[in-house]
Amino acid sequence: MIPKLILASSSPFRRMLMENAGLSFEAHPAKVDERAIEAPLERDGATPDAIALVLAKEKAKEVSDRSPGAIVIGSDQTMSLGQRTFHKPKSMEDAAGHLAALSAQTHRLNSAVALAYNGDIIWEHVSRAELTMRPLTDDFIARHLKRVGDRALSSVGAYQLEGEGLQLFSKIDGDYFTILGLPMLPLLEKLRELGAIDG
């Protein structure tokens, strides 16, 4: 019997990626305090990709602990520029600061995914993408944020590549799924291997 699949996320983008791939699944957001998990890791000098992986595993495990017999998919994404790890902007001023810092720079998105079964992590993976933003003036940033509005507050980089945020970039290295926060190709390969989806 094929086990039930659960996505441990409330992200509409991750749900859309799973639905578009034709997967049958339920979505149950994980009840974890991400900042409480991240803070000590950051203090101890953990890399942004390591932080993303810890968070993905914690989310998968938390939902798996209350969903016996299901395969639970946990995921998380961090964004880094050099040694700085970015968090979702809390205000439009914060979003403007993010875009100003990223202007004319190459930053990295670290997208982690983990599978849990009966409370145990059975697989983990991190994919990375590198995005180069074109030079942006303060005036352009202000106009751009006025157009996109509160959507700028819903992603760690203050942009949506699947929308008008695409105009901010001059170069992108990495796959679309990694950028949206769920590395679908390695995930689908592992689910087929586990017999969790039709192979």
- pLDDT by residue (tens digit) across 140-149? 999 999 999 9
Active site residues: 76
Per DSSP, the chain holds a count of helices (H) and strands (E) of 7, 7
| Domains defined for the chain, CATH in brackets | 5-193 (3.90.950.10)
Tens of pLDDT, residue by residue over 5-21, are 999 998 888 999 999 99
Residue with more model confidence, 82 or 186: 186
Query: Buried b vs exposed e over 27-57: b needs ≥16 C-beta within 10 Å?
Result: bbebebeeeebbeebeeeebebbbbbbbbbb
CA 88 to chain centre: 11
Q: What is the pTM of this model?
A: 0.89
The residue among 187, 85, 79 whose CA lies nearest residue 133 is 79
Instruction: Output the pLDDT for position 123.
Output: 98
Tens of pLDDT, residue by residue over 31-42, are 999 989 999 998
Partnered with residue 76 across adjacent β-strands are 112
Instruction: Output the pLDDT for position 152.
Output: 93
- CA 57, CA 196: separation in Å to the nearest integer? 19
Instruction: Output the pLDDT for position 155.
Output: 86
Tens of pLDDT, residue by residue over 131-178, are 999 999 999 999 999 999 999 998 889 998 888 999 999 999 999 899
Query: Please, are residues 92 and 152 in contact by the beta-carbon 8 Å criterion?
Result: yes
- CA 114, CA 110: separation in Å to the nearest integer? 13
The residue among 191, 174, 63, 192 whose CA lies nearest residue 126 is 174
Query: Please, are residues 79 and 156 in contact by the beta-carbon 8 Å criterion?
Result: yes
Strand 71-81 to 26-27 pairing: unpaired
Instruction: Output the pLDDT for position 12.
Output: 86
Distances (CA, A) of 3 to 26, 51, 80, 148: 12, 28, 36, 40
